Structure 1
């Protein structure tokens, strides 16, 4: 009996191993080759699939070579940032695919197809390539289906204009600290060279700490620093072959990602738990993002469940707060950095923007309602986001069979990729001056500039458009307005133009300008 049982166990183990080997072989070879055949039959072009690595090795090699170079300060940097994709487009045209390991990534350049992908969120979903990367961007960004609907509904009130107006003093306090610091730096000589990038990273981290949690940057700086490190590790993971089960390996990167997540979790739990207990003790909800989220969640749970169970779990709230930190800090800091760099280069637009700010506010602190009257500054910010979109590429994945997109049938497990950078720079949509800094193109608004087409999506588009876009734009307007009131600025000779991506579009070697006190 014992030998018989042992024989059965051996056969079961062998059977499981064979099943696993077959699934792995199917995933790493048969499935990609079927997808490649299907795409070729539909008229698309791309490289033949290479076992396991696809195009990753060549993509990484060309990108590393490009990062060693700097450019003249022009806005023509797509080939510098994505050299492999530029070569691919030159060879195969825009309607082509690349390989992210064994996953085909289909480039979508037609505005109507881009609009369709953004609109059909239940068919074109967020890619789930590495669960460890999901630790960095949890919450609303990665949620799908009913969970996304519930979270969006509960978070929406925190980003209504009325709530953002109540956060204006928090933004004002953060920007005031920055410009006061700059005034001290330049007070001795009247001018000084500074690197904008670390200053704006600190500013936006401070602002999100105050606006989201009512705490200062000093109290929230540990969360900010940990999130930044986690972001750098996530980028490293995204550039590696997405092998199933790889996250369980005890690699240095995997261990550090989990350690960082645990530390961030503890810090956020302490902040949220304290606020939750205050509300349970009868204190009114504060007018920051966390207070609004907790209040919205509590009211929803009270209406829907007499037992007063939270509609969002405590962990859900922790995840959303972590997302506040990453999205709220990162998108605004890059927008501010590229805005001041471009205004340093284009002094005429800097002068026009300053004249508008002084005509609206004088030397007084900009008020919330007055920010909406800054037409020229709004045009400038839109043009900056066109030329330097915070997120250069947006991807979606297909999980169902026979998913149609225009005339294409997208194979299951494939990704579609929409390049904001490529589309925003395309002369077909923006004219012969597409690579020139010309805010005048937005003088009659975004809809007129784009002719109603989906060719401008710095915050995404459709139902999943970034919920915090007004938050970012108001903060950016206030910061630029207050800087223009006190300083003029020009490019420093030390500035080296080399845009790079670390999830968002950043200046690889810093953003050096010379400040002059007015």
Structure 2
């Protein structure tokens, strides 16, 4: 049906689809490990890059188990936002392949169940609720500031520091405090096992083509996933049980999830509801924010002029303000521009995936058959020079000087770091507030510069495009350096550190 409408794409084989061609393209189009800052599409997704050049912004390809319609045409992307989750929803395969990671939570459900879960959870992330979490974010940031200061002071003012885990743990602590009334220390085991699950599932995704069958075989990898899944389930249910016995008036989200689980469900279904939604918040709520924070520091480290501008603003806003508040965060204009530009260059989730759940889905001039997976590559939308201009892949925070709506993009729907349409991420307000607080506090005390040992490298896990982010995998590592900028005497240091 799609080919009759003029949609082209590589010719698939019966069992393997185009996966063998993907592997061949990866081998042929390997680029040097020494990459430019934003030259990464052809490294992560060389097959998508080549096929877009060959067939245009809309093409069809197969993984053997699925037919995928790749869409990056502005008009079709815009149309995605007008379909409901009952018509164009999350792919069915996600419920199976990502069940261990997200359960049956908001991330994977569609239709009435999606509407019900969103109705319960979304109010806990409204702006007024987020304002009440600023102090929690400050409390979580404090230990990181103290740890870095001690390390730097012990080294005479400068030191190389691996900051990836610090920022991931910080973001996890924020989620634990704000959403579950605990702390990272208390929830550390949950976060740790979720990351192990993420790694195990990402490695499993390398078995493309017949991967749908592979995941049901009694392999060591599948057994590991099932074991981790059960361990996380028991840990989350223990958190819920403790919450029932010690009601925390400030922990509205967990209360909302627990109360929502009782709506006509059996005991087992209620447990699944709680575990699924808590998994979604635990994992999705901290991973993407941590990745964005890391990229913010890297971009500021490699653009010292913007770092100085952001620092000057942060120090002016933070001076005499302990703690920060909503009014202070609104004054962080440059810091906000830096965050928005980082999300444009390095969106933490690389793809938007949808599935046509009815027969009447139409995108632009294309009728999409039921069951077709629609894949929208954020990376290509955000670096599309027709939409953003010739400098689309350059770090230019000034393009967001007048906000996202007035960004230097000819089509606003080509900027989708938090999604597009009715499934826009409910946690975006919390993510933006957390990033502002963390960056403001870090910039007020430290400066950052690239380490001499820094190597810009991206690694793809899996060939079917179903990975979360270049930096959200265990194997992808970003190295750069930091150095203490402002000490008690307002002196600047110059020795680089490394993250």
TM range (shorter): 0.7 to 0.9
Match of 2:168 among 182, 196, 201: 201
Query: Match for residue 346 of structure 2?
Result: 388
Pairwise CA distance, 1:317: 1.7
Q: Secondary structure at the match of 2:133?
A: helix
1:506 maps to which of 465, 471, 496: 471
1:110 to 73, 77, 91: 73
TM-superposed CA distance for 1:214, in Å, is 1.9
Evaluate the alpha carbon distance shift between residue 368 and residue 292 of structure 1 in structure 2; reply closer, same or farther with a 3 A threshold.
farther
CA distance in 2 between partners of 1:293 and 1:114 (Å): 32
The alpha carbon displacement at 1:415 in A equals 1.2
Aligned counterparts of 1:217 and 1:415: Cα–Cα separation in 2: 37
Distance change in 2, residues 1:438/1:327 (3 Å) = same
TM-score by length of 2: 0.88
Indicate the residue corresponding to 2:201 in structure 1. 234
Between stretches 51-60 and 452-461, larger displacement belongs to 51-60
**Cα distance in 1 for residues equivalent to 2:107 and 2:226:** 20
1:444 is aligned to 2:402: yes
Q: Which has the larger radius of gyration?
A: 1
Greater per-residue helix proportion:
1
Structure 1, unmatched stretches of 5+, are 1-37
Match of 1:194, SS state, is coil
1:326 & 1:392 partners in 2: Cα distance? 16
- Deviation of 1:50 after TM superposition, in Å, equals 0.9
Summarize the alignment of residues 392-407 of structure 1 with structure 2, pairs less than 5 Å apart: 392-401=350-359, 403-407=361-365
Q: Does the 8 Å CA contact 1:389/1:505 hold for their aligned counterparts? A: no
* 1:19 alignment partner in structure 2: none
Which of 430, 436, 448 is residue 477 of structure 1 equivalent to? 436
TM-score normalised by the chain length of structure 1: 0.85
Match of 2:228 in 1: 260
CA distance, structure 1, for counterparts of residue 44 and residue 177 of structure 2: 34
Change (3 A) 1:503 1:67: farther
Pairwise CA distance, 1:330: 0.6
The offset of 1:412, in angstroms, is: 3.0
Instruction: Pick which of 321-330 and 246-255 moved more.
Output: 246-255
Whether the aligned pair in 1 keeps the contact of 2:418 and 2:425 (CA below 8 Å) is: yes
Query: 1:90–1:309: structure 2 CA closer, same or farther, 3 Å change rule?
Result: closer
Judging changes above 3 Å, is the alpha-carbon distance between structure 1 residues 229 and 345 closer, same or farther for their aligned structure 2 residues?
A: same
Aligned to 1:123: 87
Using the TM superposition, name which of 165-174 and 233-242 deviates more: 233-242
Contact 1:125-1:398 at 8 Å conserved across structures? yes
2:114 to 130, 139, 148: 148
Contact 2:80 2:421 in 1 (8 A): no
Structure 2 Cα separation of the partners of residues 68 and 271 of structure 1: 46
**SS of residue paired to 1:447:** coil
User: Aligned runs of 1:266-285 on 2, under 5 Å?
Assistant: 266-279=234-247, 285=249
- The equivalent residue for 1:342 is 299
Shift of residue 178 of structure 1?
Answer: 0.5
Could you give the per-residue CA deviations for residues 147-172 of structure 1, whole angstroms, max 9, x where no partner exists?
11111011122112222222222211
* Aligned equivalent of 1:376, options 317, 325, 334: 334
On the 8 A contact 1:397/1:415 being kept in 2, the answer is: yes
CA distance 1:344–1:66, shift in 2 (3 Å) = farther
Counterpart CA distance in 2 for 1:431 and 1:366 is 40
Please name the residue that 1:427 is paired with: 385
Q: Match of 2:123? A: 157
Q: Does 1:467 align with 2:426?
A: yes
Contact residue 64 and residue 209 of structure 2 kept, 8 A: yes
* Structure 2 partner of 1:319: 276
Pairing partner for 1:174 from 140, 159, 162: 140
